[in-house]
Amino acid sequence: MEYFTFDQLKQLLEEKYLQYNTPDFIQTDPIQVPHLFTRKEDIEIAGFLAATIAWGNRKMIIRNALRMMALMENEPYRFLVEATEEDIQAIDNFVHRTFNVEDLRYFLRSLQNIYRNHGGLEQVFVQGYSQDRTIRSAIIHFRRVFFSLPDYPQRTEKHVSCVSRGSAAKRINMFLMWMVRRDGRGVHFGLWRDLSPADLMLPLDVHTGNSARALGLLRRKQNDWKAVEEVTANLRLFDPGDPVKYDFALFGLDLEDKKI
């Protein structure tokens, strides 16, 4: 591994952040799905569902996320607010890898409950965050609310990460990054103002983990919550107010398969 000084590493991360954080990025990323909408609630719901299935082949992720939007008549917020149990039960023939129609139906019921009775996704995450201004608390509280409906399918639990059991929660952290980060570059939405970008956690996956380890930003071998805390703390050394902006850099560097 090539040795970088602090200034050299910061320069590399900043260059790659600027290179990949452009509207062109949207064309090949699941974030394109919430970008189809302008209403805040539609963006939130579309973003959450697209992020939920964001593992595997990216074209398949995007195709299946668009399929979910079509099942909600491409008006996700209106559909959730107005849908009867019969409407939700009528949804059929959906599968994305291990996420199937039973999971989707529960997700829709739970999101319906969140928007009807808990003030929406933003409010639920903010309630947890306000306990100690950590994303960990926000995710734990959200998960508790999400599975508060009676008789939820046990199989569905695996599709909402449990950070209290050590999960890296890549997809939830990615969704929060989409909703909270605001830099005016046209990729992330910056809709949620009561969560600070400074407190966001890196959406750690194979790609970002590979790059972070190669650059000496992560020593822990497992991609778990402790690794998320370690790498995010190191990224805060380069930008305390917006550490996860370097997700673009780390993801892009791994895709380049650069010798670093």
Read off the pLDDT of residues 22-79 as tens digits, 9 standing for 90 and up. Answer: 999 999 999 999 999 999 999 999 999 999 999 989 999 999 999 999 999 999 999 9
Spatial CA neighbour of 39 closest among 79, 91, 67: 79
The total number of structural domains that make up the chain? 1
User: Domain range for residue 220?
Assistant: 6-256
Q: Where does the chain have alpha helices with state H?
A: 6-20, 40-52, 58-71, 76-82, 85-90, 101-117, 121-129, 135-146, 170-180, 206-214, 225-236, 247-256
pLDDT band at residue 259 under the 50/70/90 scheme: very low
| Non-local CB neighbours of 242 within 8 Å, separated by 6+ positions | 181, 183, 197, 198, 200
Residue 1 lies in a domain: no
Give the whole-angstrom CA distance, residue 84 versus residue 220: 47
Is 189 within 8 Å of 34 (Cβ atoms)? yes
Q: What pLDDT sits at residue 199? A: 98
Give the whole-angstrom CA distance, residue 46 versus residue 79: 12
pLDDT tens-digit profile of 127-149? 999 999 999 999 999 999 999 99
Residue 251 lies in a domain: yes
Q: What pLDDT sits at residue 44? A: 98
H or E element that contains 93: none
If you average pLDDT over every residue of the chain, what do you get? 95
Q: What pLDDT sits at residue 211? A: 96
Give the whole-angstrom CA distance, residue 101 versus residue 67: 12
Asked if residue 98 has pLDDT above 80, the reply is yes
Q: What pLDDT sits at residue 2? A: 61
For residue 182, count other CB atoms closer than 10 A to its CB: 14
